[in-house]
Amino acid sequence: MRNYNNTLYALIAILVIYTVAFVGFIMYSITNFAFADFYKRLDLRRNLAAEHMFNGKGSHTGWSLTYVEELNNQREFVIEFDGKSSIIHTTGFDTSLWNQVQKTGESNFKVGNTFYSTKYYPYKGKHYIVGVSAENYFYTHHLNYLRNLLLIALVLGVLFVIVVSLLVKRSFIKPINELIDEVKKIGSENLYLRLSEEKDKGVLNKLANTFNRMLNRIETSFETQKNFISNASHELNTPLTSIIGIADLALSKERSVEEYKQAMLKIVDAAEKLEKKTSALLLLARTGYENNNLNFKPVRIDQIVMDAEMTVKAINERFHIKTDFSMLPDDSMKLKVNGSAPLLQLAISNIVSNACKYSANHTAYVALGAFENGVLILIKDEGIGIPEQELAYIYDPYFRASNTANFSGYGIGLPLARNIIKMHEGDLSVSSTLGKGTTVRIELPTIKRL
C-alpha cells in the first residue's frame, strides 16, 4: 500500500509539473509572439518615418505619420550624432536611453511598457538615428489578462489533478480494503467462506477468483483430515472393541486348546476387517494431500465409481451398493473427465457412504449416464431424508440435520464432496423428502474433443 501511495504521489507531482510547464510554455510563446509582432509594427512605422524624412518634403522636425494607424502613445524621434557616440541634436528622444541604441544598424528594445525600434541612416554626410516608440496595448492589457487567466487555470488544474487522483485512489483502494477485510474473516474454523467475485473481468476479480480456488484446495485438505478422523473414530472402534472383548474373554479363565484356537480365529477375522478398513481410510485420507495439487488428467468416471464402491464396502461390510450402468453410452470418450481420480473417488465415496449410513437397509442406489458435454451420477437412498427447511444448510461444514442424532458423523462429508466437484468445474445438487430418502445429483464436464 505504501508503494502504491508513493506511486500515486509521484504521478500527481508529474502531472503538476507538466501543467506548470505547459502553462509556462504557453505564456512564453504568446509573449514572444506579441513582442515580435509589435516590433514588426514599430519597424514599419520607423521605415515610413525615415522615408518621409529623407525623401519627403519639409524638415525632419515636427513631422508625423498619417499613413497607418497610430499606436498607443506612439512617438517618432530622430537623433543626429557624430557617427560615434556623441549626440549632436535630437527630437523627442530620451537621451538616457542612448546606450541601448545600436549605432550602426537596427535595434529593438523595451523600457517598462514602452517598446522602441531604431535604425541608423547616413544622409548627406551626416549620421542619423530614426526611431519610433509606443506602448504595446496587448502586452499591458491583454497579456496581463491572459497571464492571470493562466494562473487561475493552473491553480484550478492542480486542484483538479489532486482531487481526481485522491478520488481514483479511494475508488481503487476501497475494493482492496474490502478484500482485505473479507480475508481477515477467514480462518481454520470457517474455511467455507469465500471472497466476493464481481461480474467484471478486472484484476481484483481475478485475484478473488484465484484466492477462492486456493481456499477450495485448502478446505478440501482440512476436511479430508477431519473426514478421516470422523470415519476412523467410528469404523475402527467396532473391530477394536471386538478384538479386545474376545481376548479378554479368552484370558478370563483357563480354556482348552480348541477354545483358544477359536478365539484366535475370531481375533484374526476381526483384525483382517480392521486392516481393510484402515487401508481404505488411509486411501481416502491421502487423496486430500497427495492428490490435491490439481494436476488433472483424463480419467474414466465409471472406473472411479466402481473404485469408490469398493472403498465403501471395505470400510463397512454392512453397506450394500446397487449400481445401474444401463445408461452408459457406447462411446467411452463420453465418460472421460479431466480431473483427479483419487479426489473424485473421495467425493463419491463420502456420498455413497452417507446414503448407506442413513438408510435402514444400508443400501445405496447408484446410476451413471452421459449427456451432451458431460456425465451424470445419481446416488439415491431410501433413508431418513432431510427436513425441507434444513436443505439450505447442508453444505455448511459441521451442519447435521435435526433427525441425525442417532447416527455418528461430523457433518463434513457432503461439504467436502461439493468442494471437490466444484474444483472439477462440476455441479452437485441434493433433493430430499423427509422419511423417504435423498437423491444426490452430480454433473461433471467431459473432455472437449478437438
Find out if CATH 3.40.640.10 is the number for domain 206-445: no
What does the pLDDT read at residue 379? 94
What does the pLDDT read at residue 61? 42
Higher pLDDT, 447 or 174: 447
Half-sphere exposure of 66 (CA within 13 A, CB side): 3
What does the pLDDT read at residue 58? 43
Query: Is 351's pLDDT higher than 70?
Result: yes
Higher pLDDT, 120 or 137: 120
Grouping H, G, I as helix, E, B as strand and the rest as coil, residue 65 is coil
Contact between residue 23 and residue 153 where contact means Cβ atoms under 8 Å apart: yes
In angstroms, rounded to a whole number, what is the distance separating the alpha carbons of residues 347 and 343? 6
Q: Which of 131, 89, 81 is nearest to 106 (CA)?
A: 131
What does the pLDDT read at residue 280? 57
Return the residue matching grid coordinates 542619423.
128
Query: Is 277's pLDDT higher than 80?
Result: no
What does the pLDDT read at residue 9? 76
Contact between residue 328 and residue 369 where contact means Cβ atoms under 8 Å apart: yes
Contact between residue 246 and residue 260 where contact means Cβ atoms under 8 Å apart: no
What does the DSSP assignment read for 72-84? Answer: TT-EEEEEEE-SS
**C-alpha pair distances (Å), 261 with each of 247, 251, 256, 257, 275:** 11, 12, 9, 6, 21
Query: Is 60's pLDDT higher than 50?
Result: no
Helix-helix angle 2-55:143-184, to 10 degrees: 170
Query: Is 22's pLDDT higher than 50?
Result: yes
pLDDT digits (tens, 9 = 90+) for 367-420: 998 888 889 999 999 999 999 898 888 887 667 888 888 887 767 778 778 888
Q: Give percent of the chain with pLDDT exceeding 70.
A: 85
Q: Give percent of the chain with pLDDT exceeding 90.
A: 12
Query: Domain coordinates of the chain in residue numbers?
Result: 2-141, 206-445
Judged on CB neighbours under 10 Å (0-12, 13-18, 19+), 145 is: exposed
Residue 228: which residues within 8 A CB-CB, separation 6 or more?
281, 282, 284, 285, 288
Query: Is 67's pLDDT higher than 60?
Result: no
Half-sphere exposure of 217 (CA within 13 A, CB side): 13
